[in-house]
Structure 1
């Protein structure tokens, strides 16, 4: 039996980076009733868990409390499926991610517009990037906002610890230019990473948009720990959703419009379960077709990524009391034939984990911007609570392999010039494996184990290198990886993973395109009262972490839904573009 909970103008499915924005903006109109449904726990003001507020994200990221533990993904066609950490808590990914506030490049959004998403070029989206932010370091000028809900800040070079200065020295030695602002200087170079943080505390979208004043609105109703079972369809019209409580109670939320904000892996799954997707595949699962939209679940993109560690001598270690670990990043060009400029991204962290072992290891992330490879999300069952099959297919296009190979070579040269160590064996490949993740969970047992392992790393270099090769790299050395092209490509294929930037699975585009799922305001083609608003809409993954672009998408669509014009792009035409 279903109990009708209430009737609303808007029901928002998912309280993540987009859902919180929409709940805040839509409920600002008193005559509009809004329901926000989140499958995970709520984090109201004054009750945000300390682990979520912490500037250092890895403890919350490595646990299972605030993610979907059954959601897995295959990085490549030949790899095993592994847990793909997606937020299940108010704020979604913004409550568990590294807090990177990276917009990407103007070309990313101009490409959206050129590929069928009219109205989403750089000049169109810039007003909404400005609207969402309060930039602490660059509050003035045409490219930044000063009074938005999300604070943006950087740790500037004069405050960098020795590890970051060594990394920067290695970058400069290899010709990298110094940039101040990655969100306003669009050429290659290294820079202090921008992140969404205030007073060294995380600012999720739940904190930024669902503040105490917003929660007092009588027309906003927030429901947590309710999992949406299905979208209620009458023909091609969405009439709301049915959600299930932890105790098994089934509640029906009726709505004039249903807005799906469940992320690029779960949003397409919800549509397919409602009969919106590839008709033949739905039929094979016994799901009645409502709309034949074969693009649902396709066009899945993530940044193909690799990680590396470097043993840190005591002078390069940062105290665990200093929480912010990621400070320095870089954007550069692979030089691979027929590929774009600024197609690689490199970030660093002063520690690899929260514990005594992690504090002895610096961390490097390398990924491909604007990947060419495409994956997909598929249903494996009509069961509404069965996790979808996720195939990232990260290296289907050889250009992504070639670009990562070029990036690894550049990183090796940067590390060699950094002064971090005279012994190249202190630099080694790392993997975010289930074993590493298990060791990264906060517990007294892990603290004791990692304290011992940390002490072992401080033994003489021959013993340290033997331990690293035995327990971390299983005999793989960077010298052998870099020795020839085949060895490097084999290493990349064995170790690549996604960096949790899933996007593109309900992409915006013209209704005449069979691959397009929604129009440029997130409305599902052919449906009534059904909209998708999250990273699923991105036609192509931008040269950025997805959190800030997803917030921007929600801001822009909320504005269109409410018919507002004060932030319309036409009023902002002609804003100067900075090129570097």
Structure 2
């Protein structure tokens, strides 16, 4: 690399040797940056071949290469006699997706669907537009390429509840083998090779972790190695879907590793616009999609269409194609194919963010040198703070009523060190907190470390829905979260905050001079600080999504009038459409949802194999 990388006045003061050394370093850094998300990490794009030669019929067409779609494509293409096509609306993940510490930097970008919910006076009032920002992944890996990479299954009660609702084959004992299969390190004919790579995140904030674990212990909550049957309550560091300092999505682990199979094609930047049914509406004959935002194409389906576009795009696509609530589709003049409760039953883990100041006027200030060291360590050694995601993996599960062995609240923690204004800005921009409250938090960071605590409602009673805004596929849907419309939800979150008040009184937290950081909120400050009335008002402002929408294409027995897919995930009254993603969940699990989504796809792959091999 030439010395032109250096300013002329700087290069002119060197006889040349040191310029060469510095430019060698710069070359190494740039090469390392390019390698983070290099093209060879990802499947080849079949788009140009499709444009040049058209598309033949495929046995299976999969919409979406996210956490579920990548699994399905990998498993179905194990059969060399089946031709499999994946249509993904986005492209390869950007560098920021691969770097664990930068997951908040992916929001508000072209790598995400940037949805905003409808206004509500019960949640998100501290956010821009006083609405909740709901990003979803639009790239290989889907939302698994923008999430916090945490892997936790949920518990027996979650899945036994699915089975008790009539979903035969979905109890804990039924789904556990599929969780295990997905991460199985070695395979056999009876137990296929697993692909999910799990590792413990490196810890770079030992003092904060020690404070949180010790504070929980003072309140009688154990530190557990993993959340497994019999140990559903306590605090632990969750494992993550990452390896060697980089994110590991199912698009990388399941799909890229097998993408050279002759019977598997992946088309990127392919946005599906409509499912084309036959005259009687019992089979989808083809799928229409736009390629690279300008080419309109169709692909015919030989055996089955698999919808894995996620809990927002899957119901949207079904409704655009005439499958959904009859009254709603009639209003938009969309010809009705099938009257189903598509878009209903939407559930999400709403949480309330509380903030704590630590070591005010005593905390060591973060410096530019710290940032530079972090960047260098990551690029050259794949280590350092950028190789982790802060303290987010440190997770607590508690039951606020102490009436159950299962949790009703989950806690995540996010530390920002004093003076790390760039880090706090990435965090606040990702969350979409408005300028008024952003300024207050940035001011507090001048003198203190700030610990953000996510108080997460695990078993929401409030149910939202999704509807079309128009019959045009380009329009974002109408998302009504309906957070906190059921009083029990707010009551549980209030108990969660009261638990944090108890945490603040522990010796561990007192040793770090921990106190609530309460932003000025005119509406709330008329009440006594930390009274029930105050916290109830605060919750309206600092509540939002944990990015876990599910349930919008509900799985239930067909005799259940709210059913959209049956327990084998076939779309009701349709012979060749299966839905395989988080939208089928009848009830949200008491945990982050990515592990469960992967499990669903593994189980669905068996359904598909069984159904079609029996016919062949």
TM-score of Structure 1 vs Structure 2, range by shorter chain: 0.7 to 0.9
Residues in 1 aligned to 2:328 and 2:348: alpha-carbon distance in whole angstroms: 24
Question: Map of 1:363-378 to 2, 5 A cutoff?
Answer: 363-378=452-467
Q: Which residue of 2 aligns with 1:128?
A: 178
Corresponding residue to 1:62 among 100, 107, 132: 107
Q: Which residue of 1 aligns with 2:320?
A: 273
Corresponding residue to 1:541 among 588, 592, 607: 588
Residues in 1 aligned to 2:168 and 2:364: alpha-carbon distance in whole angstroms: 49
SS in 2 for 1:35: strand
Residues in 1 aligned to 2:522 and 2:548: alpha-carbon distance in whole angstroms: 28
SS in 2 for 1:85: strand
1:26 aligns with 2:93: no
Classify 1:198/1:204 alpha carbon distance in 2 versus 1 (closer, same or farther; 3 Å): same
**1:274-299 CA distances to partner (integer Å, 9 max, x unpaired)?**
11111111111101111111x21000
Residues in 2 aligned to 1:507 and 1:32: alpha-carbon distance in whole angstroms: 28
Q: Which residue of 1 aligns with 2:309?
A: 262
Indicate if the aligned counterparts of 2:356 and 2:515 stay in contact, CA closer than 8 A: yes
Classify 1:389/1:475 alpha carbon distance in 2 versus 1 (closer, same or farther; 3 Å): closer
How far off its partner does 1:132 sit? 0.9
Classify 1:247/1:284 alpha carbon distance in 2 versus 1 (closer, same or farther; 3 Å): closer
Corresponding residue to 2:598 among 551, 556, 569: 551
Q: Which residue of 2 aligns with 1:290?
A: 337
Residues in 2 aligned to 1:341 and 1:215: alpha-carbon distance in whole angstroms: 40
How far off its partner does 1:428 sit? 2.3
Indicate if the aligned counterparts of 2:201 and 2:240 stay in contact, CA closer than 8 A: no
Residues in 2 aligned to 1:518 and 1:220: alpha-carbon distance in whole angstroms: 26
Residues in 2 aligned to 1:535 and 1:96: alpha-carbon distance in whole angstroms: 16
Residues in 1 aligned to 2:401 and 2:322: alpha-carbon distance in whole angstroms: 44
Residues in 2 aligned to 1:93 and 1:400: alpha-carbon distance in whole angstroms: 26
**1:221-260 CA distances to partner (integer Å, 9 max, x unpaired)?**
1000111111111132111211112342101011131111
Classify 1:146/1:477 alpha carbon distance in 2 versus 1 (closer, same or farther; 3 Å): farther
Q: Which residue of 1 aligns with 2:399?
A: 333
How far off its partner does 1:478 sit? 13
Indicate if the aligned counterparts of 1:327 and 1:349 stay in contact, CA closer than 8 A: no
* TM-score, normalised via structure 2 length: 0.76
Classify 1:168/1:479 alpha carbon distance in 2 versus 1 (closer, same or farther; 3 Å): farther
Corresponding residue to 1:88 among 138, 148, 151: 138
Indicate if the aligned counterparts of 2:345 and 2:464 stay in contact, CA closer than 8 A: yes
SS in 2 for 1:84: strand
Indicate if the aligned counterparts of 2:416 and 2:423 stay in contact, CA closer than 8 A: no
Indicate if the aligned counterparts of 2:121 and 2:540 stay in contact, CA closer than 8 A: no
Q: Which residue of 1 aligns with 2:408?
A: 343
Question: Map of 1:23-172 to 2, 5 A cutoff?
Answer: 23-43=73-93, 49-69=94-114, 71-74=115-118, 76=120, 80-133=130-183, 148-155=194-201, 161-172=206-217
Residues in 1 aligned to 2:271 and 2:68: alpha-carbon distance in whole angstroms: 17
SS in 1 for 2:57: strand
SS in 2 for 1:190: strand
Bigger radius of gyration: 2
Residues in 1 aligned to 2:211 and 2:142: alpha-carbon distance in whole angstroms: 34
How far off its partner does 1:349 sit? 2.4
Residues in 2 aligned to 1:481 and 1:105: alpha-carbon distance in whole angstroms: 36
Pick which of 366-375 and 354-363 moved more. Answer: 354-363
Q: Which residue of 1 aligns with 2:473?
A: 384
Question: Map of 1:76-475 to 2, 5 A cutoff?
Answer: 76=120, 80-133=130-183, 148-155=194-201, 161-212=206-257, 214-234=258-278, 235-236=280-281, 237-256=283-302, 257-293=304-340, 295-313=341-359, 321=374, 322-323=385-386, 324=388, 325=390, 326-335=392-401, 341-351=406-416, 355=422, 357=424, 360-417=449-506, 419-420=508-509, 426-428=515-517, 469=519
Structure 1 residue runs of 5 or longer lacking an equivalent are 44-48, 140-144, 430-468, 565-580
Residues in 2 aligned to 1:354 and 1:285: alpha-carbon distance in whole angstroms: 47
Residues in 2 aligned to 1:18 and 1:476: alpha-carbon distance in whole angstroms: 42
Indicate if the aligned counterparts of 2:358 and 2:513 stay in contact, CA closer than 8 A: no
Corresponding residue to 1:482 among 530, 540, 549: 530
How far off its partner does 1:36 sit? 0.4
Pick which of 225-234 and 182-191 moved more. Answer: 182-191
Residues in 1 aligned to 2:223 and 2:163: alpha-carbon distance in whole angstroms: 31
Q: Which residue of 1 aligns with 2:441?
A: none
Indicate if the aligned counterparts of 1:394 and 1:498 stay in contact, CA closer than 8 A: no
SS in 2 for 1:151: coil
Indicate if the aligned counterparts of 1:162 and 1:316 stay in contact, CA closer than 8 A: no
**1:54-79 CA distances to partner (integer Å, 9 max, x unpaired)?**
1114343334121012x222474655
Pick which of 105-114 and 182-191 moved more. Answer: 182-191
SS in 1 for 2:241: strand
Structure 2 residue runs of 5 or longer lacking an equivalent are 1-50, 124-129, 375-384, 426-444, 612-616
Residues in 2 aligned to 1:413 and 1:193: alpha-carbon distance in whole angstroms: 23
Classify 1:309/1:486 alpha carbon distance in 2 versus 1 (closer, same or farther; 3 Å): closer
Q: Which residue of 2 aligns with 1:576?
A: none
Residues in 2 aligned to 1:481 and 1:380: alpha-carbon distance in whole angstroms: 41
How far off its partner does 1:346 sit? 0.7
SS in 2 for 1:350: strand
Indicate if the aligned counterparts of 1:4 and 1:254 stay in contact, CA closer than 8 A: no
Indicate if the aligned counterparts of 1:226 and 1:244 stay in contact, CA closer than 8 A: yes
Residues in 2 aligned to 1:480 and 1:390: alpha-carbon distance in whole angstroms: 34
**1:16-45 CA distances to partner (integer Å, 9 max, x unpaired)?**
1101111110111100011101111135xx
**1:547-566 CA distances to partner (integer Å, 9 max, x unpaired)?**
110000001100221129xx
Q: Which residue of 2 aligns with 1:496?
A: 543
Q: Which residue of 2 aligns with 1:513?
A: 560
Classify 1:532/1:90 alpha carbon distance in 2 versus 1 (closer, same or farther; 3 Å): same
Question: Map of 1:558-573 to 2, 5 A cutoff?
Answer: 558-563=605-610
Classify 1:401/1:356 alpha carbon distance in 2 versus 1 (closer, same or farther; 3 Å): closer
RMSD: 2.9
Pick which of 172-181 and 282-291 moved more. Answer: 172-181
Indicate if the aligned counterparts of 1:192 and 1:329 stay in contact, CA closer than 8 A: yes
SS in 2 for 1:269: helix
